[in-house]
Amino acid sequence: MSARAAATKTVIITGASAGIGRELAREFARRGYALGLMARRVDRLEELASELRRQGARVEVAALDVARDDTVHAAVDALREKLGGLDIMVANAGITAVNRTGAGDISKDKDVIAVNLVGAIATLDAAAKHFRAQKRGQLVGISSIAAFAPIPGSGTYSATKAALTQWLRAARAELARHGIRVTAIHPGFIRTELVGNMDKFPFVIEADVAARAMVDAIEAGKGEATVPAWPWKLVRPLLGLLPESLAAKVF
């Protein structure tokens, strides 16, 4: 292995086939990282991998449905072995759903919990086991501003993001003595093809701009970051003080 290859950092990103995950992969590739990309849609991953390889990046891909949490550890371990190591794990895979309270069917809610919370924890736990052994590494969870400002009609989505943020905070306190950093990213409203009508929300930014700010925060080793920082850094402490009627109109 060359000295350059030995110095190359490696990142695995779940949910990398579209949206924020895809733009994170592009941004990490621009910065010289070796990439492990995971998602359900392997065809989309292969398209992205081909694009990044043409630009000189080392990329490996693997199929993963984080909702099948019993498969996550083995899939992460296999991809890590293929890459020859792991420095940063980004638990980005997530879904959203509108399900009005009292609809009489919580199947959507169960899917959101399985992906956004249980799947994210399984992903990060798989990496943490390896990081504890090597006494270094960084866990990154993509939470949401909805952790602090619950969205009416998407209560389960908001609840999973609040729970993920608290899990990451607990993990940060627990793992610091093992040399492991833990970063919670709280995106605001990001324009991607995954969510329609995004322009009705406040402070919307493009996914590539968001990814650049996220990777900046990750590389800086921040414990928590909101994206974009402005104005959410100012607004976030006030969100819990908003009257519920006003919050409902805003979100």
Q: What share of the chain is helix, strand, coil (3-state, %, to 5)?
A: 55, 15, 30
Nearest to 116 by CA among 74, 75, 146: 146
| Cα–Cα distance measured from residue 221 to residue 216, given in angstroms and rounded to the nearest whole number | 9
| Cα–Cα distance measured from residue 23 to residue 215, given in angstroms and rounded to the nearest whole number | 10
Q: Could you say which of 28, 33, 157, 251 is catalytic?
A: 157
Contact (CB, 8 A) for 93 and 114:
no
Contact (CB, 8 A) for 139 and 165:
no
Contact (CB, 8 A) for 93 and 142:
no
Specify the residue for token string 């065809």.
43
Contacts of 38 by beta carbon, 8 Å cutoff, 6+ apart: 12, 13, 14, 15, 16, 45, 61, 62, 63, 64, 75, 76, 79, 93
Phi first, then psi, for residue 88 (nearest 5°) are: -135, 130
Exposed e or buried b per residue across 6-36, where buried means at least 16 C-beta atoms within 10 angstroms of its C-beta: eebebbbbbbbbbbbbbbbbbbbbeeebbbb
The question of whether 157 is a catalytic residue gets the answer yes
Contact (CB, 8 A) for 122 and 43:
no
**Which residues are marked as active site?**
157
